[in-house]
Structure 1
Amino acid sequence: MSKAGRTAGLIGAAVGVLAAGAAAGVAVERQVIGRRSGQRAQLEAEPFGSLRGTPHVFTADDGVELYVEVDELKRSRRPEPPKRRFGRKLPLPPEDLTVVFAHGYGLNMDAWHFERRDLAGIGTMVFYDQRSHGRSGRSPKDHVTIDQLGQDLYGILEEYAPTGPLILIGHSMGGMTIMALAEQHPELFGDRVIGVGLCSTSAGRLDQVPIVFPGRVGMLARALATPTVAALARIPDVVERSRKAGTDISYLLTRKYSFGSEVPPAFTEFVNEMIAATPIEVIAEFYPIFSLHDKYDALEPLQKVECVVIGGDKDHLTPFEHAEEIVRRVPGAELVEVKNCGHLGLIEHHREFTAALLGMIERAEQSLGPNT
């Protein structure tokens, strides 16, 4: 590969990591992994991507096909309630309870691997790939907006959960998707939507968050990120080859912007593999929408439901202060700070995230009353 190609690849990897909040889609450098304990990796590795539900294809209002999987709740074969694993034994959920998960930027539904595993049996669970992500179809560029993501979620609710109580859980961009839904359909909250879980997300002012470095230098880096990603999107073949090649620096960037503590190498590789499937053009199309994101006024409907806001103290992409600001605007919401936790806490500290989500679900179920 030429020197220019390698340079473009490194820039693409670095900016993509910062933009996506994970790894910009580069594969983990095998040499780096080899320096870690192979035995530890083997013991702590998970069969990521192996949890599958009934597949569906949903056509959004603009014709984009979204990939959906539904894990049906089967009473006769319901597994032991996962809450036992967290020291609690709760009653069976309502038969018609549906829990819908919305993933973050540059990821896909498999990002919920641990939550999908540990919440099995809590209700019917619906997972989907956001437009242009995972197995879903590409979005027209002018429909790459947080508002459109909210419309997508509304359509999925109508199609796969037309009746019964709803729990909505979103990570990062997925949390923003729920906020857009609340703005567009506030009547759902406190009626059908009984609980919301917001993980590592923000209601706005992300344009004021520095990247790479603190202070003015970090703000300059943020200003340069959008045109840099856009330029890289114009040479996708060069960038994609470099992303797949992997480098030591990309591995370090992945660790810095995804996690806040030591994690098994398999976790990092899993994140990289998910984002490697997200074309650089998609990274470039979605990145600018986060600077425009402002849903503070959309948070009011969340006051009508059980709500938990979870964040990491070492999240450089949606800092914990953004979680605190959401809770200030949603009185009664639970705020959970996870220590030594980066942006992908749903993987890094999945036990803490799942336990907090379970607590919210329990309270939401109790709000329905004993005769539900």
Structure 2
Amino acid sequence: MANVGRTAGLIGAAVGVLAAGAAAGVAVERQVIGRRSGQRAQLEAEPFGSLRGTPHVFTADDGVELYVEVDELKRSRRPEPPAKRRLRRKVANPPEDLTLIFLHGYGLNMDCWHFERRDLAGIGRMVFYDQRSHGRSGRSPKENVSIEQLGRDLYGILERFAPTGPVVLIGHSMGGMSIMALAEAHPELFGDRVIGVGLCSTSAGGLDQVPIALPGRIGMLVRTLATPTVSALARIPDVVERSRKAGTDISYLLTRKYSFGSEVPPAFTEFVNEMIAATPISVIAEFYPIFALHDKYGSLEPLQKVECVVIGGDKDHLTPFEHSEEIVRHVPGAELVEVPNCGHLGLIEHHREFTAALLGMIERAELALGQT
């Protein structure tokens, strides 16, 4: 059993890498980067997970309950946040009924939008939700684990929480794929209800050709073995979860390598680890195969009707920047933003650049809306 535990620990770290580019361990040995006391101080300085909205439960079309939070646009005499002041300078009459809907990636939860949630506050109503089987949402039936179902979930969220007024959709990784699925099923929404789209570190297809862990043939061999390996681990969840919670130096270093492209505060890595550790190995196993099947290049045309920005990092090993470039080739007129020294979780690592690009897209969308 000890050998199984050690093996599961190493493979568990690799499994986490597959899950949104982060390692599977959570309580890692902090001596690799910094001492625990220093990390605690950094976590207190940036209170990840502390931004909360009004909670709701939305029941998807197959009965799965999705956890939703809404940050209402509050009118007060307090000074407007910087993003709102900038928007008012750019747009003469910004709509007060704008809704922004944020969709997180594989293995994460709504809290990954911490910085964007903080810095875009005041622009409009903001809707965040945990995708099915993630975070505080209910578990999906295995037969309904698909990108298409995630698109149906998004449609339901939009209809329930933004029944009127303009909408901006912002998705990271799997969240961006969910937006593509919505465009495939409901192209009529784009250019009508949906006025802007932000696609962050995502892909429209071809992920089955991206090597894992190592370049070239060895990396492709790892990819070939990944699905049966993850499935096997899902059959011994107790052993895997114990190993994930134990953590190792190597899992911590893998987190940094596959999540980020530059030196980041240790608290950033810890924050990601906590989100990943909340995703059961069985959920990782169920969702992983759907990305090899993902192909939505033929569904991108509706995005030409709205303001669209595609943001990616030059050191993203999970959805390489070439995938962002390919999306833009299928969406003429979309803005392409390459962030230097940026990994898969650029929305955390280089949040200022991501927020600025998203704000620029929202400004252009509202300007266009005012001219119609």
**Fold conserved between structures, TM > 0.5:** yes
Question: What is the alpha-carbon root mean square deviation over aligned residues?
Answer: 2.1
Against the structure 1 CA distance between its residues 306 and 11, is the aligned structure 2 distance closer, same or farther, given a 3 Å change threshold?
Answer: same
| Alpha carbons 2:176, 2:203 under 8 Å: kept | yes
Moved more, 75-84 or 236-245: 75-84
* 1:57-206 pair list within 5 angstroms: 57-76=57-76, 79-83=79-83, 89-91=89-91, 93-206=94-207
Q: CA deviation at 1:39?
A: 8.3
Query: Which ranges in structure 2 are unaligned for 5 or more consecutive residues?
Result: none
Residue matched to 1:6: 6
Indicate the larger mover: 91-100 or 73-82.
73-82
Aligned to 1:249: 250
Distance (Å, rounded) in 2 between the aligned partners of 1:144 and 1:307: 27
Point out where structure 1 has 5 or more consecutive residues left out of the alignment.
none
Q: Conserved in 2, the CA contact under 8 Å of 1:99 and 1:167? A: yes
Structure 1 residues 112-148: Cα deviation after superposition (integer angstroms, max 9, x where no partner): 0000000000100000000000000000000000000
Letter in 1 for 2:366: E
Q: 1:143 to 1:40 in 2, by over 3 A?
A: closer
Partner amino acid, structure 2, of 1:190: G
State the partner residue of 1:291. Answer: 292
Contact 2:18–2:288 at 8 Å: present in 1 too? no
State the AA in 2 paired with 1:99: L
The question of whether the paired residues in 1 share the 8 Å contact of 2:25 and 2:246 is answered with no
The equivalent residue for 2:51 is 51
Q: Return the offset for 1:26.
A: 3.3
Aligned-residue offset at 1:15: 2.5
Contact 1:86 1:355 in 2 (8 A): no
> Letter of the aligned partner of 2:16 in structure 1?
G
**For 2:118 and 2:96, how far apart are their aligned partners in 1?**
19
Q: CA deviation at 1:70?
A: 0.2
Q: Distance in 2 between matches of 1:241 and 1:85?
A: 48
CA distance in 1, matches of 2:78, 2:310: 28
Query: How far apart, CA to CA, are the structure 1 residues paired with 2:202 and 2:344?
Result: 9
Structure 1, residues 324-363: CA drift from partner, whole Å, max 9, x if none? 0000000000000000000000000000000000000000
Contact persistence 2:308–2:361 (CA under 8 A): yes
Work out the CA distance in 2 between the residues paired with 1:280 and 1:216: 27
Q: Given that residues 259 and 345 in structure 1 are in contact (C-alpha distance below 8 angstroms), is that contact kept between their aligned partners in structure 2?
A: yes
Aligned residue pairs total 371
**Are 2:23 and 2:251, in contact at CA under 8 Å, matched by a contact in 1?**
yes
Taking the aligned partners of 1:141 and 1:249, their CA distance within structure 2 comes to 31
1-structure distance, mates of 2:333, 2:25? 38
Deviant stretches of 4+, over 2 Å: 23-45, 75-79, 81-93
Question: For 1:156 and 1:355, how far apart are their aligned partners in 2?
Answer: 26
Report deviation, 1:84.
7.3
Matched AA of 1:159: R
Q: Equivalent pairs: percent with the same residue?
A: 88
- Aligned partners of 1:25 and 1:106: how far apart in 2? 13
Q: Which moved more, 1:125-134 or 1:87-96?
A: 87-96
1:24 offset after TM fit, Å?
A: 2.6
CA contact (8 A) 1:179 1:298 kept: yes
Q: Is the 8 A contact 2:9 2:243 kept in 1?
A: yes
1:369 shift after superposition: 1.1
Whether contact under 8 Å (2:84, 2:121) holds in the other structure is no
In structure 2, the partner of 1:213 is: 214
Shift of 1:88: 8.8
Which stretch of structure 1 is more off in the superposition, 159-168 or 42-51? 42-51
1:328 and 2:329 matched: yes
Checking the alignment, whether the CA contact within 8 Å between 1:73 and 1:121 is kept in structure 2 is: yes
Secondary structure of the 2:370 match is coil
* Residue identity opposite 2:327 in structure 1: I
- The superposition leaves residues 98-123 of structure 1 with CA deviations (integer Å, 9 ceiling, x where unpaired) of 00000000000000000000000010
Deviations 1:243-265 (A, max 9, x none): 01110000111011000000000
Q: CA deviation at 1:93?
A: 3.0
- Which has the larger displacement, 40-49 or 127-136? 40-49
Work out the CA distance in 1 between the residues paired with 2:291 and 2:78.
40
Match of 2:236 in 1: 235
What one-letter code is carried by the residue in structure 1 that aligns with 2:34? G
Task: Work out the CA distance in 2 between the residues paired with 1:86 and 1:216.
Answer: 48
Counterpart check, 1:266 vs 2:270:
no
